[in-house]
Amino acid sequence: MIITKTPFRISFVGGGSDLPAYFEKQRGAVLSTSIDKYMYISTHAFFEKDKIRCKYAQTETVDHVKDLQHPILRTVLQDFNLNGIEVSSIADIPGGTGMGSSSSFTVGLLHNLSAYTGRSHEKKELGAGACRVEIDLLKEPIGKQDQYAAAFGGLNVIEFNPDGSVVVHPVSISEETREKLNTNLKLYYLGNQRSASTILAEQKKNTSQESKFQALTTMVSLVYKLRDALEAGNLSDFGTLLHENWLLKQQLASGITNPRITEAYAAGRSAGALGGKLLGAGGGGFMLFYAPTAAHTSLDQAMKEIDAEPFNFNMETEGSKIIHIER
């Protein structure tokens, strides 16, 4: 049996510039961190050697890989040409909540099956391989940030170049800055799990408009401002930069925000949060705020009044890894 543990991620600024509609014209960049919430994938030989069993929200037992209904499992298992195997997944966070769950699943599955078959599984290979599966083979209208964030782990600036290459630059911060950032970041679940595909498809289309393209360009510039502030240990501008990024992001597509999201964000700001954003493409999921500790009690109360549940987390540094292997 082999078990892999692959983190989810929180993206701070620059999201949307990882779509080809932007970075094929101009280098994109995001600043994100992986967190201590994970996708676990386990594999082992299946008792019936001529069948495949996959367990996720459903259980499938099939004679041929092509008969699997789960698109990522079907595509990856076909790629590895495997039979007589059982694959199971367990996640700390449900899909469709803005933390890159599908990419964490894909990275973890590739990592696991690479170890299972004796193939190389360097972090860069896992990120690129997950992009190939989700974007090239399955034609999902998504970007490239989630795959690399899950594979590498840590706090990074991830750059997306016009030639299609991706470069991950770790952000170097002191332990004191890391602890303060961890403390001051507050996360709340608004509900409404959703698929990002519709919103991202509209955003891809809208990127051809000059105003949308310029909004993304400004968002990319915020990535480097935030990196410099973090590396200097200056967190005073963190909330301001998050707020500026969120105002710009709402311009990119109509489905990014809705009345509940607008209400939650306004309530958080009124309670003392310096800035924040909705995680993921938009429409629902988790709302992130940056707030000084003195505002945490009032922020918690404001979110409770609109039925937004607090969600505790910490930043993590390891990325996808194998936590159990037994031949």
Over 90: is that where the pLDDT of 260 sits? no
**Is 99 in the same domain as 69?**
yes
Lookup: tokens for 161: 């170049």
pLDDT, average across residues 31-51: 96
Q: How far apart, in whole angstroms, are the C-alpha atoms of residue 216 and residue 292?
A: 28
Decide if 9 contacts 15 (C-beta within 8 A): no
- Please give the structure tokens belonging to residue 194: 């959703």
Strands 52-55 and 85-91: parallel
- 187 and 247 both lie in a single domain: yes
More confident residue, 61 or 97: 61
19 with 140, same domain: the answer is yes
271 shares a domain with 136: no
Neighbouring CB atoms inside 10 A of 258's CB total 15
Mean pLDDT of all residues in 14-33: 95
Owning domain of residue 204? 175-310
Q: Is the pLDDT of residue 201 over 70?
A: no
Q: Is pLDDT of 199 > 60?
A: no
| Together in a domain, 246 and 103 | no
| Interatomic CA distance for residues 102 and 88, integer angstroms | 14
Q: Do residues 103 and 230 share a domain?
A: no
Give how many domains the chain has, as a whole number. Answer: 2
CATH number at residue 86: 3.30.230.10
Residue 135's pLDDT band (boundaries 50, 70, 90)?
very high
- pLDDT (mean) for 261-276: 95
What's the token pair of residue 238? 């963190």
Tell me: do 52 and 134 sit in the same domain.
Answer: yes
- Residue 207's pLDDT is what? 67
214-246 pLDDT, tens digit per residue, is 999 999 999 999 999 999 999 989 999 999 999
> How high is the pLDDT of residue 197?
56
pLDDT band at 203 (very low <50, low <70, confident <90, very high): low
Instruction: Tell whether 10 and 114 lie within a shared domain.
Output: yes
Question: What percent of the chain is predicted at pLDDT more than 70?
Answer: 93
pLDDT at 95: 84
pLDDT bracket for residue 202 (50, 70, 90): low
Residue 211: the pLDDT is 81
317 burial via Cβ count (<10 Å: 0-12, 13-18, 19+): middle
If asked whether residues 94 and 167 sit together in one domain, one would say yes
Altogether, the residues listed in the chain come to a count of 327
pLDDT of amino acid 132: 98
pLDDT of residue 282: 58
Output the CA angle 292-295-298, nearest 5 degrees.
155
- 125 lies in the same domain as 234: no
Q: Kindly report which listed range (52-61, 136-145, 247-256) carries the lowest average pLDDT score.
A: 247-256
Query: Residue 283 pLDDT more than 70?
Result: no
Same-domain pairing of 59 and 9 = yes
CATH number of the domain to which 191 belongs: 3.30.70.890
* Same domain assignment for residues 193 and 260: yes
At residue 92, the pLDDT reads: 95
pLDDT digits (tens, 9 = 90+) for 98-127: 899 999 999 999 999 999 999 988 999 999
Q: Which of 157, 161, 178, 197 is nearest to 15 (CA)?
A: 157
